[in-house]
Amino acid sequence: MKKLKLDDSPQAEFRGLGIVSPEKDYRLCFLINQKTGWELEKTATLHIFDPAGQTRKEVPAFVHTNPENEYRTFLVKNRQESFFVVPEMKQADYIILQPFEQADTMNLIKKLISDITAVQSCFAISAQNLKHIDAE
């Protein structure tokens, strides 16, 4: 009889982009808002699992909600007080997160953000590295 193996590893809820920029978070949001037509506001909290501390931590996030379809896009600072939101991407200063259930617009977002002069680099992050992030 053939054995059935179940994959019990958690699935990522987000796709992501890493951003390298020396700008403060509020200034970067202003620049992204200008370039994309978004309205990023600091209104959400994401719950991030910190593997080193084995705890879940609350991380403030800037959120843009698309008025046409209620899709949300998050911007979080990668380096928190005692941990990295995405430890595998320590070179990223900020992370853009977009839930998987939404239409994938990351290539367009990446192109727009890459055109901002204050952004040194913008790159895709593997969903494998985002499994520990939950939104509330």
For residue 2, being part of any structural domain is answered with: no
- The confidence band for 12, taking pLDDT boundaries of 50, 70 and 90, is low
Number of structural domains in the chain? 1
CATH number reported for the structural domain that contains residue 18 in this entry: 3.30.310
**Can you give the residue range of the structural domain that contains 77?**
14-135
- Is residue 7 domain-resident? no
Domain membership flag for residue 9:
no
The answer to whether residue 83 sits within a structural domain is yes
pLDDT in tens, 72-101: 899 999 998 888 888 888 999 999 998 877
Q: Is the pLDDT of residue 9 over 50?
A: no
Portion of the chain with pLDDT greater than 90, in percent: 46
Q: Which helix (H) or strand (E) holds 15?
A: strand 14-20
